[in-house]
Amino acid sequence: MKGLEVDNIYFAYGGARALAGASLRAEPGAIVTLLGSNGAGKTTTAKVIAGALMPASGSVSFDGVLLSGLPTHKVMRHGVVLVPEGRRVFSRMTIQENLLMGAYKENRQQRVAELLEKCFTTFPRLKERRSQLAGSLSGGEQQMLAIARGLMAEPRLLMLDEPSLGIMPKLVRGIFELIVEIAASGVSILLIEQNARASLDIASYAYVLDKGKIILEGAGRDLLADAFVQNAYLGT
User: Does the pTM exceed 0.85?
Assistant: yes
| Predicted pLDDT at 180 | 94
Q: What is the mean pLDDT of residues 27-40?
A: 93
CATH domain 4-234 topology: Rossmann fold (3.40.50)
Highest mean pLDDT among 2-6, 120-124, 168-172, 202-206: 202-206
Average pLDDT over residues 220-224: 95
pLDDT in tens, 178-219: 899 999 989 999 999 989 999 999 999 999 999 999 999 999
3-class secondary structure per residue, 117-145: HHHHHHCHHHHHCCCCEHHHCCHHHHHHH
Q: Do the Cβ atoms of 71 and 78 come closer than 8 Å? A: no
* 34 neighbors 205 (Cβ within 8 angstroms): no
**Cα 225–Cα 172–Cα 75 angle in degrees, nearest 5:** 85
Convert the pLDDT of each residue in 127-172 to its tens digit. Answer: 888 999 998 988 888 888 999 999 998 999 999 999 888 777 877 8
Does position 236 have pLDDT exceeding 80, yes or no?
Answer: no
Centroid of chain to Cα 52 = 14
